[in-house]
Structure 1
Amino acid sequence: MAADLIYDIRELPDSSQASQGQRYRAHLYHVARLAIWTSNVYLTIRGLAVLLGPQQWQTWMMFLVEAIFIHLSRKDQNLVIAAFRVNREGRRRRLRLQGNEALPRVDVLLPCCGEDVNVIMATVRAACAMDYPSSCFRVLVLDDGGSATLKEAVSQVQTEWSHVSYHSRGRQSGMVFAKSGNLNYALTELQRRSPPEFCAVLDADSVPTPDFLRATLPHLLQCDEAALISTRQYFSNLPTGDPLSQTRSHFYTCQNAALDMLGRAIDAGSGAVFRRSAVVHVGLYPTFSFSEDWQLSQILHGMGWRTFQVQEPLQFGLIPDSLTGHCAQRSRWNIGHAQQMPAMLSPEYKHYPTSLRWSIALNGLGIIAGEILCFLGFLAVPLLFVSGDLVPTNYPSLARTQIVMSAFQVLMMWMFEYLQASQNNFQSAPFAHLENKWLAGSTILAVLKFYLVSARPKGSSFVTGSVLNSWNRRASSAWKKMQVDLWKNGVWYNICLLSATIWTVLTAIRPILSGIGDISPTELLTSIAFPPLLHVCYLTLAVNWVPVAYVFNPPRYPVDEAAVSEKSEKAAPHPHEAAKDEISSDVKWPMVEKVGKEILQLGTRLEIQEQPKL
């Protein structure tokens, strides 16, 4: 019998933003196809011209740099095409599970390890107070920190909510498979006698809204092939403008939304709800990586299960409120992706199908390769500006064809990126798939240190909570904090790259501005004014300016400590309806214009529209 005949599931109207985004889907699909076709033709012509021309290093370097950034844009273009062919509406319905009788049983798993007790208890109280019959769900606090204080705090709220309980494997300090081992402990040991049908996972600092379960369960109940549904993560301490792109808006609204239409959405960790039998069937959470949520999604896909994502604001977490915390978080994720390759090539995981093992290994290789390619692509820009001719001119007609096609190809990339940003109402900027690529060098170094020095977590560097990753916001002085950001977090490299790029650009155009020498339009367009070079130069400046602006003009993070530390508060501290309405409204983040003007003004801050305060 169909699930919707057993359970009372109702559909809510779409938000205005979702309705507006649907208008762009058909246009975006056709532009994506045209962009791919144009880039294929262009790369063929460019490759032929490079082979037939003088074999110079600069022409080959320019060609490879162009291919790198075209390849990096292809992921979004292919996703748009695939998703549109499957679902032209491009939306996931907003559903609500009604009633209080005969609802499925759910265990809410809350893994933690050393986070602030007040932060954890804010999540515990909100989870216990969710709008769902207390007889149908339990809240299991899974403490790998072995905190007696946390245990006592949980016991105190049991007088109000008897369906919450404290459990611990003992003090693990992030070891013993970290979060994945903690979750597997619950799925095996704690649920052995009374396994629920579904489980939800909340990070220690992710406060759920009252309708969290009623909004997520219907998508699993209506599709027997669905194993997991992920929810977009929203944050209550987001600074104005989100300078580090910590909301990951592009991932949620563009990439994962397209994967959702294909039934292959990626689990973003906190806020996931899964069918317990499916996760047990595939061997529980994988323990070979720090990115266990990402790998679980891949394993489920390889085993024939579908995964979804909802965009509604159903949880509110905390982002790392320092550059050190942000860099540590990103390094942990990328080290997790790097772990996919050796794990899948080892005999320990031969129980996975061969095709699945190769898929996971290649996925990890592709992610790390993307970081390496960005690092090399940005580094090549200063060299290209002082290298002379970038386009072979031994065949004039072929040279003119390359110039025209290059301009058209760049134009199509920009058109696609702006349409994609318009689709989600500019919540993310054009070329947002490159956000945080200024960390590429640090990521490569972190992966090398992890494997060559010590493949073990160090201190709190791999603890999931944001509080322990934010220590340098309490540094003794602003100068000390800046030193940490410049050297430990590698921002000195971004400053050097920016300086080298700007210096080479000025050096290259100075003779033209001063009237020295006679240069023809063709010579200009095949060297410093070559459209792809100007395009990549802009990306280099825009991406690498982000951490520099952060260090010299740090944002102010809202402080929620008063709200989350009210131990006497019985009601769950969750965002009120007005805050959720603001998130759903039309909010624009014109980050391209912001970055460009900041570069031209050398640090003068641009006033932009303030983000919604949660």
Structure 2
Amino acid sequence: MFPDNVYDIEELSPDDRALFAQKYRKCLHHIAQAAIWTTYIYFAVRLFFALTTPERTWKTWIMLGVEGLFAHMSLNHQRLSLAATAKPPQQTPRKRLRSDKNLPRVDVLVTCCGEPIEIILDTVRAACSLDYPTSRFRVRLLDDGASSDLHDAIAKLTTKWPHLSYHTRGKQSGQSFAKAGNLNYALFSLQPEDPPEFCTVVDADSILMPEFLRATLPHLLADPKAALLTTRQYFYNLPCGDPLSQSRAYFYTCENAELNLLGHALDAGSGAVFRRDVILDAGGYPTYSFSEDWQLSLILRGLGKRTMQVQEVLQFGLVPTSLAGHLKQRNRWHIGHSQQISVLLPSVDMAIPEHLRWEIALGGLSIMAGLVSYSIGFFALPFLLVSDGGFIPAGLALEVKIQVVLAIVYVAATWAYDWARSAHAGVSFEPFAHAENSWLSTAHLYAIVRFQLFGSKPKGSFVTGSTANSGENTTSISSFQRAYRDTLQSGAFLNICLFIATVGAMLFAVWAAISGDGSTISKLLTTIAWPPLLHLCLLVIVNNWVPIAHLFNPPVYPSRDSRLLTTEEGVSYPQAEIEGEPSSGKSSLGLCFVVSIVLLGACVCSVIS
């Protein structure tokens, strides 16, 4: 029915998220542009008055610096949105590969190292049962734990699925480049005699849906310039409300979705499909960082290759089931980003072009600078609030009014951008979703310093991308031990202190402005009611409340068994009711948005009066 060189690819109707993106694309573009220019104008005027007004103090400069740190991070997001919506969108529509004729050969590479065997076997069974001719794909289990029990279990499964095989390079826990080395072992040692055209990477705890290959391969087959396609990761053990933002929904639907429009989507690890020859030409998976998936994306982009992302529900994994486990996972990611700087060393793969080395290293420095910015800002705000004097030069009433009006417009534009980005994604997010997990910034910096300066070889969860081998124990410890682990050991006690200090400092600043001599309105506007300060205080409170809420109301993580259904063939899949997007729909910024609008409105009334 089809020529030998043509695949039977069907394009499906767009989902609600794609329709929202089309509807709000121009809106996001114009609001991002307005937010950027508003930020530039606001800081130019603030700097001008800070330089020309005699009444300026050290507090003026500190406040301006803290505002600038947070504004810089917001500008990075706004510039990305502006670039992604500046030209006709390169949407990634839903597609399906039909027919069984002329299908490319694929290797499904399942990486593991010490995870519970029952979890690995669930992953393997689902991978073997993909809706794809068994003569056209193989499942290779890559065991860096060299488990004899796992070897025997896989041997039993091969009687049912002959396209399954077990491989190991020996016990490599915490050494030999971890997951990147495991994947390179498959690419360079196992495949040369009978190479496939495409490869799929699967973590040990990720269950692929049957249509995975038929939903992902069409995008790579239709675009010869596309080197890699990453799929959004969904999780079947998320607690109600996802209080720790473990789903990374904002990253997938906003940041990576916009990078996808530019052809630069970042590989999220499990569920990635790539052209084998392109990855070999790039030197395989980079071994200079734990975040090998992220680094591979950067290298491919630097080599002029396109990377894509699809939002479809095609895989389900597991998230850590404790605050300590969550922190450990995120620390590993950020240690990986800090290792990007090492790409400048001569010992790193020389196949990476010189200009790309600098780009990757500067990217890692930028991520580290973001952690430093959050840490400085969170600690500086309480000290600013309890110190005497205003935050802005208050020489003339007109100068104060100009700065307050511009500050209101600047903050309003920032909020409007958050709403437009959320609407463009078709997902409802809480305020400051772009700063999710920023309350962990100090803990990340501590982990990076400890690893880089005092650490040795990586162990435990530094091996694969899965969570099951993170060493967390949630069943055999007492409530007191769990609370101790999730506060003092995880560093969350610092966030509790910051939350209390910020709220207390805000109350003190209000009392000082009301009880002191002079105009109360003027004191409020130049201290606690200064619009950017209110904005930042809300950010600090909202973010640092997360571990407190976790401590007093720990989320309940559903068990694996309660979320899985097993077919007659013995393959387990997540239940149908958890497959959808729980928060799709129009954007709403919630109570904090209403509170901020009320406070800003009060500022406007004060200026007018």
TM-score normalised according to structure 2 size: 0.93
Q: CA deviation at 1:20?
A: 2.9
Distance 1:502 1:433, change over 3 A: same
| Corresponding letter in the other structure for 1:82 | A
The residue that corresponds to 1:217 in the other structure is 217
Q: Which moved more, 1:42-51 or 1:195-204?
A: 42-51
Which residue in 1 is equivalent to 2:558?
558
Aligned residues of 1:460 and 1:468 also touching (Cα < 8 A): yes
User: Taking every aligned residue pair, what percent have the same amino acid on both sides?
Assistant: 46
Deviates more, 1:184-193 or 1:467-476: 467-476
> Is contact 1:498–1:541 with CA below 8 Å preserved after alignment?
yes
Match of 1:9 in 2: 9
Secondary structure at the residue paired with 1:85?
A: coil
Q: In the alignment, is the contact (CA less than 8 A) between 1:197 and 1:275 conserved in 2?
A: yes
Deviation at 1:350, TM superposition (A): 4.0
* Equivalence map 1:167-182=2 (5 Å): 167-182=167-182
Query: Is the 1:144–1:171 contact (alpha carbons within 8 Å) kept by the matching residues of 2?
Result: yes
Cα pair 1:379 1:497 within 8 Å, conserved: yes
| 5+ long unaligned stretches in structure 1 | 598-614
Q: Which residue of 2 aligns with 1:593?
A: 591
In the aligned structure 1, how far is the partner of 2:231 from the partner of 2:210?
14
Give the 3-state SS of the residue equivalent to 2:257 in structure 1.
helix
The separation in 2 between residues aligned to 1:183 and 1:204, in whole angstroms, is: 13
> In the alignment, residue 196 of structure 1 is paired with which amino acid?
P
**Which AA in structure 2 matches 1:94?**
R
Per the TM alignment, residue 133 of structure 1 is displaced from its structure 2 partner at its CA by 0.4
Q: Is the 8 A contact 2:111 2:464 kept in 1?
A: no
Give 1:68-217 correspondences, 5 Å limit: 68-88=69-89, 91-217=91-217
Q: Which residue of 1 aligns with 2:421?
A: 420
CA deviations 1:421-460 (Å, max 9, x no partner) are 2233444323211100100010000000001111421344
1:525 alignment counterpart: 525
Q: Tell me the alpha carbon deviations over residues 319-364 of structure 1, each in whole angstroms, 9 at most, x when there is no partner.
A: 1111111101000000000001023244534442221001100010
Distance, in Å, in 2 between the alignment partners of 1:585 and 1:516 is 47
Report the Cα offset of residue 595 of structure 1: 11
CA distance in 2, matches of 1:442, 1:126: 37
Unpaired runs of 5+ in structure 2?
596-609
1:430 is matched with: 431
2:571 paired residue number = 572
Q: Deviations over 1:380-409 (max 9, x none)?
A: 111121222110122443332111101100
TM-score (norm 1): 0.92
1:262 aligns with 2:262: yes
Give CA-to-partner distance per residue, 1:56-114, whole Å, 9 cap, x none.
221111101111111111122111111112334x6320000111122000000001000
Shift of 1:591: 7.4
Number of residue equivalences: 592
Deviates more, 1:422-431 or 1:533-542: 422-431
Taking the aligned partners of 2:499 and 2:126, their CA distance within structure 1 comes to: 45
Counterpart Cα distance in 1 of 2:75 and 2:445: 22
Aligned equivalent of 2:600: none
Counterpart secondary structure, 2:92: coil
Partner of 2:409: 408
**Other structure's SS at 2:308 match:** strand
Q: Which amino acid aligns with 2:294?
A: W
Q: What is the 5 A alignment of 1:375-524? A: 375-387=375-387, 388-460=389-461, 462-469=463-470, 471-512=472-513, 515=515, 517-524=517-524
In terms of mean alpha carbon deviation, does 52-61 or 230-239 score higher? 52-61
Cα offset, 1:176, TM superposition: 0.6
Contact 1:181/1:287 (CA < 8 Å) preserved in 2?
yes
What secondary structure sits across from 1:202 in the alignment?
strand
User: What are the superposed Cα offsets for residues 475-504 of structure 1, whole Å, 9 maximum, x if unpaired?
Assistant: 421111001111110111001101111111
- Aligned-partner Cα distance in 2 for 1:495–1:464: 29
Q: Report the CA distance shift for 1:5/1:233 in structure 2 as closer, same or farther (over 3 A).
A: same
**Residues 588/319 of structure 1: CA separation in 2 closer, same or farther (3 Å cut):** farther
Match of 1:583 in 2: 581
1:491 partner amino acid: A
2:277 corresponding residue in structure 1 = 277
Q: Secondary structure at the match of 2:259?
A: helix
User: C-alpha distance in 2, partners of 1:351/1:129?
Assistant: 37
Q: 1:365 to 1:169 in 2, by over 3 A?
A: same
Distance 1:174 1:3 in 2: 49
Per-residue CA deviation, residues 37-72 of structure 1 (Å, 9 max, x unaligned), is: 100111111111112234522111110111111111
* Cα pair distance change 1:578/1:4, threshold 3 Å: farther
TM superposition shift of 1:563: 6.5
- Secondary structure of the residue aligned to 1:86 is coil
In 2, Cα distance between the equivalents of 1:455 and 1:325?
20
Post-superposition offset of 1:507: 1.1
**3-state DSSP of counterpart to 1:421:** helix
- Note if contact 2:564-2:575 (Cα within 8 Å) is conserved in structure 1: no
Query: What SS class does the counterpart of residue 452 from structure 1 fall into?
Result: helix
Match in the other structure for 2:601: none
Residues 185 and 311 of structure 1: is their aligned pair in 2 closer, same or farther, counting only changes over 3 Å?
same
Q: Which residue of 2 aligns with 1:611?
A: none
Could you say if the C-alpha distance between residues 414 and 521 of structure 1 is closer, same or farther in structure 2, counting changes exceeding 3 Å?
same
Report the Cα distance in structure 1 between the residues aligned to 2:589 and 2:545, rounded to whole angstroms.
12
Is contact 1:236-1:317 (8 Å) kept?
yes
After TM superposition, the structure 1 = structure 2 runs for residues 12-51 of structure 1, keeping only pairs within 5 Å, are 12-51=12-51
Q: RMSD across aligned C-alpha pairs, in angstroms? A: 2.3
Contact 1:229 1:308 in 2 (8 A): yes
1:297, CA displacement in angstroms? Answer: 0.3
Secondary structure of the equivalent of 1:468?
A: coil
1:56 aligned to 2:52?
Answer: no
